[in-house]
Amino acid sequence: MNEPLHAVRFPGETSAYRIARDRLLRAEMALRRHVEDTAALRRALPLGGVAPVDYTFTDEGDTPLETDIERPIRLSALFADGKDTLAIYSYMYGPAMAQPCPSCTSILDALDGQMLHLRQRVNVAVVARSPIRRIRQFARERGWRYLHLLSCAHNTYNTDYHGESADGRQMPALNIFVRRQDGIHHTWCSELMFVPPEAGQDPRHIDPIWPLWNMLDCTPDGRGVDWRPSLRYDR
């Protein structure tokens, strides 16, 4: 029989619980090692291709909603001094959509709260195909404060980097870029969404940055079979 992994115990736990918990704990330790090994492989990737153009986005800026002022900003300008990494999340909010994707919105609800921390290390932007005024209006209603929101309505970024299919279907892609002397290189995309999922599996390609599922995975009921986040709830 395996020895207990540590001496910490909780009120009322049984020996059967401790045996099962240690079995799970060994699996959690193996998962931690695998997560760290996977992150190391990700960091060791060679540089991807150079961005084909210095895309021009429409910036949210700080213009009042009632004005028509829009500020263009290039991909290269999204890199702050001293920060050579840029993460761009493609938000599923196209002009033909009556409302944005609830799952993407759940991700961005959480990401907005982490932006002050993330900005200490990397640049982060969120792009959507809708006009910037529409994106800005929803963001204000949602209460987002720190996300750098951009419109890619007038460039090919979303189709080039798989945030949108050729027929206009919006896709939730996370892409990472790095700035080097010879240009801006792509380094990583959440490509699990392109791999056919195993039976009973969601793509889970954005899960590492999505606290909702990670929290539910700690509970006895888990994620649920058909449950998905909504844009609004009755309180």
- pLDDT digit string (tens) for 149-189? 999 999 999 999 999 999 999 999 999 999 999 999 999 99
Strands 149-151 and 56-59: antiparallel
Q: Side chain identity at 6, as an amino acid letter?
A: H
Burial of 30 (0-12, 13-18, 19+ CB in 10 A): exposed
CA distances from 175 to 1, 10, 15, 89, 162 (A): 46, 42, 47, 6, 9
pLDDT score recorded for residue 204? 87
Domain ranges of the chain: 1-44, 56-191
| CA 16 from centroid of its chain's CA atoms | 39
Strands 56-59 and 71-74: antiparallel
pLDDT score recorded for residue 234? 82
Which of the residues in the chain have pLDDT under 50?
A: none
Buried b (16+ CB within 10 A) or exposed e, 167-181: eeebbbbbbbbbbee
How many CB atoms lie under 10 A from the CB of residue 190? Answer: 22
Among 172, 175, 131, smallest CA distance to 149 is for 131
The DSSP code for 168 is S
pLDDT score recorded for residue 64? 55
pLDDT score recorded for residue 70? 84
Q: Which fold has domain 56-191?
A: Glutaredoxin (3.40.30)
pTM for this predicted structure? 0.92
pLDDT score recorded for residue 62? 59
Among 61, 64, 130, 119, smallest CA distance to 96 is for 130
